[in-house]
Amino acid sequence: MSKKRLLYIINPISGNGKKANIIQAIEKYTDTSTFNYEIKKTEYAGHAAELAKAAAEAGIEAIVAVGGDGTINEVARSIVGTSSALGIIPCGSGNGLARHLQIPMKSVDAINIINQNIVHCLDYGLINNHPFFCTCGVGFDAVISKRFAESGRRGPITYIENVLKESLSYKPEIYTIEDLSPTSSDNQPKKYQAFLIACANASQYGNNAYIAPQASMKDGLMDVIIIEPFSALEAPQIAVQLFNKSLLKNSHIKMFQSSQIRISRSSEGAAHCDGDPLSMSNTIDVKLVPQQFNIIVNPEAHTPKKNLFQLLMEDVDEWWIWQQRALRKQRVGIKRLNRNILNKLKKL
């Protein structure tokens, strides 16, 4: 039986920068009885896309992106509609697609997933013909993506600084959404005042921030999440629900599923595609392309798992609801919840 060809595309400047250790892990743990592999490093912006496109055209069976969300997006968009499969060794700060697919964050474990070579054909999306694999959208998160890119500095501290600064002056916009899905029973345009609108093929932005907890990459539909304006008092609860997968329980959240929508706004402005900022017109078309994207998956990814942080956030969410009730009705009844949170904090 002939071996399959595998190409590792490494972005040497993404994420934590410890690529020498990853190369050593690749050389030590790649299953050479299954694969003939090669390693190539990117040298400039867009190089990963060029390398991936050439590899797909050459019929290479597996093309592994070693880097952050930007590198993964470059490689993925270059192989959609081909027979080549994407593999992922996550090295970024968010790792949204890898986390949705439960690809391990440890390089050795991610290589073991690649060695198993279980390939599924999944969906991807287009926002004004720009491919996305996790999320795209408009509103606050798009503005933050733009500010973050303009800052010239990376890392979570810079991101938080931009969120805090922008939140002081950001004004929700009025959007019109048309559901253009052929199977939709309601094609009438609807207006929303929205903090943000997210179109999700996968469940999260990254860092386990679940904007669309129920989203699937193989159902032929995207989850459209509309976050309506909320008060400063309500913001912490929304933030907690974003991390404990309970966002859809919030009264400020509207959600529907579609294969194609059109978003209209008063003027051109910011949008984002898997976290990368884009400038787009006042009319934005978003659609899903079903089962045209091969990817090496974790065969155990269907098994739901919760880490300690998510369990803690469930109690924090309940605790916050009780706190709001106490503030409104001048009563307290949260000792049990506080004890749960303290006990779990001791285990961190």
Q: What is the DSSP string of 9-60?
A: EE-TTSTT--HHHHHHHHHHHS-TTTEEEEEEE--STTHHHHHHHHHHHTT-
Q: How confident is the model at residue 283 (pLDDT cuts 50, 70, 90)?
A: very high
Give residue 346's pLDDT.
47
Higher-confidence residue: 26 or 187? 26
Could you read off the pLDDT of 304-338 as tens digits, one per residue?
454 544 545 545 455 555 555 555 544 444 455 55
CATH for 4-117 is 3.40.50.10330
Judge whether 4-117 and 130-290 match in fold.
no
Give residue 282's pLDDT.
96
CB 176 within 8 A of CB 163: no
Could you read off the pLDDT of 130-185 as tens digits, one per residue?
999 999 999 998 988 877 776 666 655 556 665 666 767 789 999 999 999 998 88
CATH for 130-290 is 2.60.200.40
Percentage above 70 pLDDT, the chain: 79
Per-domain residue ranges for the chain? 4-117, 130-290, 308-347
Residues 6+ apart with CB under 8 A from 37: 5, 6, 7, 8, 26, 30
What does the alpha-carbon distance between residue 99 and residue 160 come to, in Å, rounded to a whole number?
A: 21
**Strand 260-264 relative to strand 196-200, pairing:** unpaired
